[in-house]
Structure 1
Protein backbone atom coordinates (compact mmCIF):
# COMPACT_ATOMS: atom_id res chain seq x y z
CA UNK A 1 0.00 0.00 0.00
CA UNK A 2 1.44 3.37 -1.01
CA UNK A 3 1.03 6.61 0.90
CA UNK A 4 -1.39 8.44 -1.38
CA UNK A 5 -2.70 11.18 0.91
CA UNK A 6 -2.32 14.67 -0.58
CA UNK A 7 -0.24 16.48 2.02
CA UNK A 8 1.25 19.10 -0.30
CA UNK A 9 -0.40 22.03 1.51
CA UNK A 10 0.81 20.93 4.94
CA UNK A 11 4.36 22.11 4.07
CA UNK A 12 6.02 20.00 6.72
CA UNK A 13 9.73 19.89 7.41
CA UNK A 14 10.77 16.49 6.09
CA UNK A 15 14.38 16.65 7.29
CA UNK A 16 13.33 14.84 10.49
CA UNK A 17 10.27 13.17 11.96
CA UNK A 18 8.97 11.64 15.19
CA UNK A 19 8.26 7.96 15.71
CA UNK A 20 5.91 6.60 18.37
CA UNK A 21 7.73 4.13 20.61
CA UNK A 22 4.95 3.08 23.02
CA UNK A 23 7.24 3.56 26.02
CA UNK A 24 8.41 6.71 27.75
CA UNK A 25 11.26 8.23 25.78
CA UNK A 26 11.57 11.52 27.65
CA UNK A 27 10.24 13.13 30.82
CA UNK A 28 9.53 16.86 30.53
CA UNK A 29 8.57 19.27 33.32
CA UNK A 30 6.69 22.25 31.92
CA UNK A 31 4.77 24.94 33.82
CA UNK A 32 4.72 22.83 36.97
CA UNK A 33 3.39 19.73 35.24
CA UNK A 34 5.20 16.56 34.24
CA UNK A 35 4.76 15.21 30.70
CA UNK A 36 5.90 11.82 29.45
CA UNK A 37 6.88 11.83 25.80
CA UNK A 38 6.42 8.58 23.88
CA UNK A 39 7.69 9.92 20.55
CA UNK A 40 11.34 9.81 19.63
CA UNK A 41 12.80 12.40 17.28
CA UNK A 42 14.48 10.70 14.33
CA UNK A 43 17.09 12.94 12.70
CA UNK A 44 16.74 11.35 9.28
CA UNK A 45 14.67 12.51 6.29
CA UNK A 46 11.00 11.56 6.19
CA UNK A 47 10.92 9.36 3.07
CA UNK A 48 8.03 7.84 1.15
CA UNK A 49 9.04 4.41 2.47
CA UNK A 50 8.54 5.63 6.04
CA UNK A 51 5.24 7.24 5.04
CA UNK A 52 4.16 3.95 3.41
CA UNK A 53 5.01 2.06 6.62
CA UNK A 54 2.85 4.59 8.49
CA UNK A 55 -0.04 4.08 6.04
CA UNK A 56 0.24 0.31 6.50
CA UNK A 57 0.19 0.91 10.30
CA UNK A 58 3.55 -0.78 10.83
CA UNK A 59 4.79 2.34 12.62
CA UNK A 60 3.26 5.61 13.78
CA UNK A 61 4.98 8.71 12.44
CA UNK A 62 4.39 12.33 13.43
CA UNK A 63 5.56 15.61 11.95
CA UNK A 64 6.50 18.85 13.67
CA UNK A 65 4.08 21.75 13.34
CA UNK A 66 6.77 24.32 14.12
CA UNK A 67 9.61 25.23 11.80
CA UNK A 68 12.23 25.34 14.55
CA UNK A 69 14.93 27.11 12.51
CA UNK A 70 12.73 30.12 11.71
CA UNK A 71 10.22 29.82 14.61
CA UNK A 72 7.26 29.95 12.23
CA UNK A 73 4.16 27.86 11.66
CA UNK A 74 2.60 26.94 8.31
CA UNK A 75 -0.64 25.43 9.65
CA UNK A 76 -2.98 25.88 12.56
CA UNK A 77 -4.58 22.52 13.34
CA UNK A 78 -7.78 21.52 15.11
CA UNK A 79 -7.47 18.00 16.51
CA UNK A 80 -11.15 16.99 16.67
CA UNK A 81 -11.92 14.06 18.97
CA UNK A 82 -15.72 14.22 19.09
CA UNK A 83 -18.52 12.01 17.82
CA UNK A 84 -19.92 14.02 14.92
CA UNK A 85 -17.18 14.92 12.41
CA UNK A 86 -19.66 16.07 9.74
CA UNK A 87 -21.21 18.65 12.06
CA UNK A 88 -17.75 19.79 13.18
CA UNK A 89 -16.61 20.16 9.55
CA UNK A 90 -19.70 22.16 8.59
CA UNK A 91 -19.46 24.57 11.52
CA UNK A 92 -15.69 24.94 11.27
CA UNK A 93 -15.71 25.54 7.52
CA UNK A 94 -18.40 28.22 7.87
CA UNK A 95 -16.40 29.94 10.61
CA UNK A 96 -13.17 29.76 8.64
CA UNK A 97 -14.79 31.24 5.54
CA UNK A 98 -16.27 34.07 7.62
CA UNK A 99 -12.81 34.73 9.07
CA UNK A 100 -11.30 34.92 5.58
CA UNK A 101 -9.45 31.60 5.43
CA UNK A 102 -9.57 30.16 1.92
CA UNK A 103 -7.56 26.95 2.17
CA UNK A 104 -8.13 24.28 4.78
CA UNK A 105 -8.14 20.51 4.72
CA UNK A 106 -9.49 17.85 7.08
CA UNK A 107 -7.90 14.42 7.33
CA UNK A 108 -8.93 11.27 9.13
CA UNK A 109 -6.71 10.42 12.06
CA UNK A 110 -6.04 6.93 13.40
CA UNK A 111 -9.27 6.77 15.42
CA UNK A 112 -12.43 6.50 13.28
CA UNK A 113 -14.50 9.69 13.37
CA UNK A 114 -11.64 11.86 14.59
CA UNK A 115 -10.22 14.57 12.33
CA UNK A 116 -7.22 16.82 11.96
CA UNK A 117 -8.35 20.08 10.37
CA UNK A 118 -5.35 21.91 8.90
CA UNK A 119 -5.82 25.63 8.29
CA UNK A 120 -3.16 26.52 5.73
CA UNK A 121 -2.07 29.90 7.02
CA UNK A 122 1.45 30.17 5.68
CA UNK A 123 4.48 31.84 7.28
CA UNK A 124 3.08 32.88 10.67
CA UNK A 125 5.12 33.53 13.78
CA UNK A 126 4.63 30.97 16.53
CA UNK A 127 3.05 33.47 18.95
CA UNK A 128 0.67 34.79 16.32
CA UNK A 129 -0.38 31.23 15.39
CA UNK A 130 -1.03 30.36 19.04
CA UNK A 131 -3.18 33.47 19.55
CA UNK A 132 -5.05 32.95 16.28
CA UNK A 133 -5.71 29.31 17.16
CA UNK A 134 -7.10 30.28 20.57
CA UNK A 135 -9.32 32.94 18.99
CA UNK A 136 -10.72 30.56 16.36
CA UNK A 137 -11.27 27.89 19.01
CA UNK A 138 -13.25 30.27 21.23
CA UNK A 139 -15.42 31.37 18.30
CA UNK A 140 -16.10 27.78 17.30
CA UNK A 141 -16.81 26.80 20.93
CA UNK A 142 -19.68 29.30 20.93
CA UNK A 143 -21.38 27.16 18.26
CA UNK A 144 -20.37 23.62 19.26
CA UNK A 145 -19.44 21.72 22.42
CA UNK A 146 -15.64 21.83 22.62
CA UNK A 147 -14.32 18.43 21.54
CA UNK A 148 -10.96 19.48 20.06
CA UNK A 149 -7.51 20.79 20.83
CA UNK A 150 -5.74 23.45 18.80
CA UNK A 151 -2.12 23.25 17.71
CA UNK A 152 0.30 24.90 18.06
CA UNK A 153 -0.28 25.58 21.73
CA UNK A 154 1.70 27.07 24.56
CA UNK A 155 -0.14 24.91 27.11
CA UNK A 156 2.06 21.93 26.20
CA UNK A 157 5.83 21.68 25.87
CA UNK A 158 7.21 22.57 22.47
CA UNK A 159 8.03 18.88 21.83
CA UNK A 160 4.30 18.08 22.00
CA UNK A 161 3.38 20.36 19.07
CA UNK A 162 3.52 17.40 16.70
CA UNK A 163 0.77 15.48 14.92
CA UNK A 164 0.61 12.03 13.37
CA UNK A 165 0.69 11.97 9.60
CA UNK A 166 -2.81 11.89 8.10
CA UNK A 167 -4.23 8.53 7.08
CA UNK A 168 -6.90 9.63 4.61
CA UNK A 169 -8.42 12.82 3.20
CA UNK A 170 -11.79 13.75 4.72
CA UNK A 171 -12.66 17.01 2.90
CA UNK A 172 -10.86 20.04 1.61
CA UNK A 173 -11.76 23.61 0.85
CA UNK A 174 -10.00 25.70 -1.74
CA UNK A 175 -11.04 29.34 -1.88
CA UNK A 176 -12.14 29.73 -5.48
CA UNK A 177 -15.02 27.24 -5.20
CA UNK A 178 -17.19 29.34 -2.88
CA UNK A 179 -15.80 32.89 -3.23
CA UNK A 180 -17.80 33.58 -6.40
CA UNK A 181 -21.00 33.45 -4.27
CA UNK A 182 -19.87 36.21 -1.90
Structure 2
Protein backbone atom coordinates (compact mmCIF):
# COMPACT_ATOMS: atom_id res chain seq x y z
CA UNK A 1 0.00 0.00 0.00
CA UNK A 2 1.39 3.38 -0.97
CA UNK A 3 1.07 6.31 1.39
CA UNK A 4 -0.57 8.35 -1.39
CA UNK A 5 -3.50 5.92 -1.49
CA UNK A 6 -3.80 6.00 2.28
CA UNK A 7 -3.86 9.82 2.43
CA UNK A 8 -7.21 9.78 0.62
CA UNK A 9 -8.75 8.65 3.92
CA UNK A 10 -7.51 11.72 5.91
CA UNK A 11 -6.55 9.61 8.90
CA UNK A 12 -6.53 11.25 12.32
CA UNK A 13 -2.85 10.78 13.10
CA UNK A 14 -2.40 12.11 16.64
CA UNK A 15 -3.41 8.72 18.10
CA UNK A 16 -4.16 5.18 16.95
CA UNK A 17 -5.44 1.88 18.29
CA UNK A 18 -3.54 -1.39 18.54
CA UNK A 19 -4.92 -4.90 18.90
CA UNK A 20 -3.50 -6.19 22.17
CA UNK A 21 -5.47 -9.44 22.28
CA UNK A 22 -6.71 -8.70 25.81
CA UNK A 23 -10.49 -8.70 26.06
CA UNK A 24 -12.18 -5.79 27.75
CA UNK A 25 -15.93 -5.69 28.36
CA UNK A 26 -17.83 -2.49 27.48
CA UNK A 27 -21.50 -2.08 28.34
CA UNK A 28 -23.51 0.28 26.09
CA UNK A 29 -27.29 0.75 25.94
CA UNK A 30 -27.89 -2.56 27.69
CA UNK A 31 -25.61 -4.49 25.31
CA UNK A 32 -22.23 -6.03 26.02
CA UNK A 33 -19.35 -5.35 23.64
CA UNK A 34 -15.91 -6.91 23.86
CA UNK A 35 -12.91 -4.86 22.82
CA UNK A 36 -9.39 -6.03 21.96
CA UNK A 37 -8.00 -2.63 21.00
CA UNK A 38 -6.09 -0.21 23.18
CA UNK A 39 -5.74 3.50 22.43
CA UNK A 40 -2.15 4.65 21.97
CA UNK A 41 -1.71 8.41 22.41
CA UNK A 42 1.24 8.91 20.08
CA UNK A 43 1.68 9.85 16.44
CA UNK A 44 0.70 7.29 13.78
CA UNK A 45 3.97 7.25 11.85
CA UNK A 46 4.95 5.59 8.58
CA UNK A 47 7.06 3.02 10.47
CA UNK A 48 4.01 1.94 12.50
CA UNK A 49 1.95 1.71 9.30
CA UNK A 50 4.73 -0.35 7.68
CA UNK A 51 4.69 -2.80 10.61
CA UNK A 52 0.92 -3.13 10.13
CA UNK A 53 1.30 -3.86 6.41
CA UNK A 54 3.99 -6.46 7.16
CA UNK A 55 1.66 -8.20 9.64
CA UNK A 56 3.75 -7.51 12.75
CA UNK A 57 1.05 -5.38 14.40
CA UNK A 58 -2.67 -4.79 13.91
CA UNK A 59 -3.32 -1.06 13.85
CA UNK A 60 -6.67 0.74 13.62
CA UNK A 61 -7.43 4.40 13.04
CA UNK A 62 -10.13 6.59 14.54
CA UNK A 63 -13.02 7.81 12.40
CA UNK A 64 -14.25 10.60 14.68
CA UNK A 65 -12.25 13.71 15.48
CA UNK A 66 -13.08 14.20 19.16
CA UNK A 67 -11.70 17.72 19.39
CA UNK A 68 -13.98 19.15 16.72
CA UNK A 69 -16.73 16.47 16.81
CA UNK A 70 -16.49 15.99 13.03
CA UNK A 71 -16.13 13.08 10.63
CA UNK A 72 -14.20 13.11 7.35
CA UNK A 73 -15.55 9.82 5.95
CA UNK A 74 -18.70 7.76 6.02
CA UNK A 75 -17.61 4.12 5.82
CA UNK A 76 -19.29 0.91 4.64
CA UNK A 77 -17.62 -2.07 6.35
CA UNK A 78 -18.64 -4.80 3.88
CA UNK A 79 -18.20 -8.41 4.99
CA UNK A 80 -19.97 -10.43 2.34
CA UNK A 81 -19.15 -12.93 -0.37
CA UNK A 82 -19.18 -10.79 -3.52
CA UNK A 83 -17.16 -7.57 -3.16
CA UNK A 84 -17.34 -6.85 -6.91
CA UNK A 85 -21.14 -6.83 -6.85
CA UNK A 86 -21.17 -4.70 -3.71
CA UNK A 87 -18.77 -2.18 -5.30
CA UNK A 88 -20.85 -2.00 -8.47
CA UNK A 89 -24.14 -1.42 -6.61
CA UNK A 90 -22.62 1.00 -4.13
CA UNK A 91 -20.88 3.15 -6.73
CA UNK A 92 -24.06 3.44 -8.80
CA UNK A 93 -26.04 4.46 -5.71
CA UNK A 94 -23.39 6.94 -4.56
CA UNK A 95 -23.15 8.58 -7.98
CA UNK A 96 -26.93 8.81 -8.16
CA UNK A 97 -26.98 10.52 -4.74
CA UNK A 98 -24.34 13.04 -5.86
CA UNK A 99 -21.20 11.63 -4.21
CA UNK A 100 -18.22 11.65 -6.54
CA UNK A 101 -15.29 10.97 -4.19
CA UNK A 102 -15.16 7.49 -2.67
CA UNK A 103 -12.58 4.74 -2.34
CA UNK A 104 -12.79 1.02 -1.57
CA UNK A 105 -9.95 -0.77 0.18
CA UNK A 106 -9.31 -4.46 0.75
CA UNK A 107 -8.66 -5.70 4.23
CA UNK A 108 -6.85 -8.79 5.47
CA UNK A 109 -9.96 -10.98 5.11
CA UNK A 110 -10.96 -12.12 1.61
CA UNK A 111 -14.24 -10.60 0.45
CA UNK A 112 -14.05 -7.85 3.05
CA UNK A 113 -14.02 -4.20 1.90
CA UNK A 114 -14.00 -0.80 3.51
CA UNK A 115 -15.74 1.72 1.27
CA UNK A 116 -14.84 5.26 2.37
CA UNK A 117 -17.20 7.98 1.16
CA UNK A 118 -15.11 11.14 1.39
CA UNK A 119 -17.61 13.66 2.67
CA UNK A 120 -15.31 16.21 4.30
CA UNK A 121 -15.89 18.07 7.57
CA UNK A 122 -19.27 16.66 8.60
CA UNK A 123 -20.79 17.29 12.01
CA UNK A 124 -21.14 14.03 13.94
CA UNK A 125 -24.94 14.13 14.24
CA UNK A 126 -25.27 14.71 10.49
CA UNK A 127 -22.79 11.88 9.81
CA UNK A 128 -24.93 9.46 11.84
CA UNK A 129 -28.00 10.39 9.79
CA UNK A 130 -26.17 10.22 6.47
CA UNK A 131 -24.66 6.81 7.26
CA UNK A 132 -28.10 5.47 8.15
CA UNK A 133 -29.62 6.91 4.97
CA UNK A 134 -26.89 5.44 2.74
CA UNK A 135 -27.24 2.03 4.37
CA UNK A 136 -31.02 1.99 4.00
CA UNK A 137 -30.83 3.09 0.36
CA UNK A 138 -28.32 0.39 -0.57
CA UNK A 139 -30.20 -2.29 1.40
CA UNK A 140 -33.11 -1.82 -1.03
CA UNK A 141 -30.84 -3.09 -3.83
CA UNK A 142 -29.04 -5.98 -2.14
CA UNK A 143 -28.99 -7.99 1.10
CA UNK A 144 -27.42 -6.04 3.94
CA UNK A 145 -24.01 -7.53 4.73
CA UNK A 146 -22.23 -4.41 5.96
CA UNK A 147 -21.95 -2.13 8.95
CA UNK A 148 -21.90 1.63 8.72
CA UNK A 149 -19.51 3.99 10.47
CA UNK A 150 -20.07 6.24 12.31
CA UNK A 151 -22.77 4.28 14.05
CA UNK A 152 -24.95 5.67 16.82
CA UNK A 153 -25.69 2.13 18.12
CA UNK A 154 -22.05 1.43 19.01
CA UNK A 155 -19.84 2.81 21.79
CA UNK A 156 -17.42 5.61 20.93
CA UNK A 157 -14.33 3.38 21.29
CA UNK A 158 -15.76 1.04 18.62
CA UNK A 159 -15.81 3.77 15.94
CA UNK A 160 -12.44 2.59 14.58
CA UNK A 161 -11.31 0.58 11.55
CA UNK A 162 -8.17 -1.39 10.83
CA UNK A 163 -5.82 0.25 8.37
CA UNK A 164 -6.54 -1.14 4.89
CA UNK A 165 -4.03 -3.37 3.15
CA UNK A 166 -4.70 -2.73 -0.53
CA UNK A 167 -6.62 -0.43 -2.84
CA UNK A 168 -9.67 -2.07 -4.45
CA UNK A 169 -11.22 0.74 -6.54
CA UNK A 170 -11.51 4.50 -6.36
CA UNK A 171 -13.77 7.13 -7.83
CA UNK A 172 -12.52 10.70 -7.99
CA UNK A 173 -14.82 13.45 -9.23
CA UNK A 174 -15.76 12.03 -12.62
CA UNK A 175 -15.93 14.59 -15.42
CA UNK A 176 -19.43 13.46 -16.41
CA UNK A 177 -20.85 14.41 -13.00
CA UNK A 178 -21.20 18.08 -13.95
CA UNK A 179 -23.90 17.10 -16.46
CA UNK A 180 -26.12 15.40 -13.86
Give the TM-score normalised by the residue count of structure 1: 0.95
Residue of structure 1 equivalent to 2:142? 144
- Distance (whole Å) between structure 1 residues aligned to residue 143 and residue 174 of structure 2: 30
Q: Pairwise mapping of residues 16-35 of structure 1 onto structure 2 (< 5 A)?
A: 16-24=15-23, 26-35=24-33
Tell me whether 1:90 sits opposite 2:88 in the alignment. Answer: yes
The two structures, once aligned, show a CA RMSD in angstroms of 1.2
TM-superposed deviation, 1:177 = 4.1
Give the C-alpha shift of residue 181 in structure 1: 6.1
Matches within 5 A, 1:52-91: 52-91=50-89
Please, what TM-score do these two structures have when normalized by structure 2?
0.96
Give CA deviations for 1:1-32 in whole Å, capped at 9, x if unaligned.
xx5251112111101100011121x3211001
Equivalent-residue separation in structure 2 for 1:162 and 1:73 (angstroms):
12
**Residue ranges of structure 1 left out of the alignment (5+ in a row):** none
Matched, 1:126 2:98: no
| Structure 2 residue ranges without an equivalent (≥5) | none
Q: Which has the higher strand share?
A: 2
Provide Cα deviations, 1:13-60, integer angstroms capped at 9, x if missing partner: 101100011121x32110011212100000110000000000001110
